[in-house]
Chain A
């Protein structure tokens, strides 16, 4: 009887600590200056949610929650990988746009030169 109450009290304290951790991480999601910061904080939120699920599994006695925690971890991992790919492709497309804009400027300048050349020829 005492053992059960010890575990229950420990679970309550753990839930409180996890709530504080969750709130701190949510602050980073909201305030994070860049996109990778927010992605990292979302990854951390998934880890804390897994912790919540584990503590609730102990409190309620439904050990089936472990499977839910594992699948949530899988989804969180895939989400982080997808976000990383997104950041990478966004950076590459931005760089390509910059290069493309530079090439366009070159092309426009060359056309301008050709036009000038033609005009000169015409003038002659």
Chain B
């Protein structure tokens, strides 16, 4: 029984660390701010969340597991908000998508809005 918990904790530890490594590789290798954000905000969150979950399972204490789960839920709630804010700010600041990506709907919408304003004026 002890061994089973140890194997579960080790699996959680290794998978969390590997998710973090995948996120870091994505941040280095991907060509664009927005595609880098796609790697960092999903794989990075799951990586640190799985490591926190490993602490909760390892302690075998309900209160500590609840605290670790609360931290995990907090990260899951905040990571998309932070990524969305940063992406929106960067897009408004004029950082555009790079050629491999084909479609920028936010930019198209802004252009339509500007054109409509000019027609009215």
Contacts and interface: CB of A to CB of B under 8 A. Distances in A.
A21 B22 CA distance: 8
Main secondary structure of the interface of A (DSSP, over half): helix
A51 B16 contact: yes
Interface residues of B, number: 57
Contacts of B24: 20-22, 24-25, 44, 48
26 contacts: A3-B2, A10-B13, A13-B17, A14-B14, A14-B17, A21-B17, A21-B21, A21-B25, A25-B27, A40-B33, A40-B83, A40-B86, A48-B20, A48-B24, A48-B44, A50-B52, A63-B61, A66-B68, A69-B71, A73-B71, A74-B74, A77-B78, A80-B86, A81-B82, A84-B89, A91-B93
Interface of B: 2-3, 5-7, 9-10, 13-14, 16-18, 20-21, 23-25, 27-28, 33, 36-37, 40-41, 44-45, 47-48, 51-52, 54-56, 58-59, 61, 64, 67-68, 70-71, 74-75, 78-79, 81-83, 85-86, 88-90, 92-95
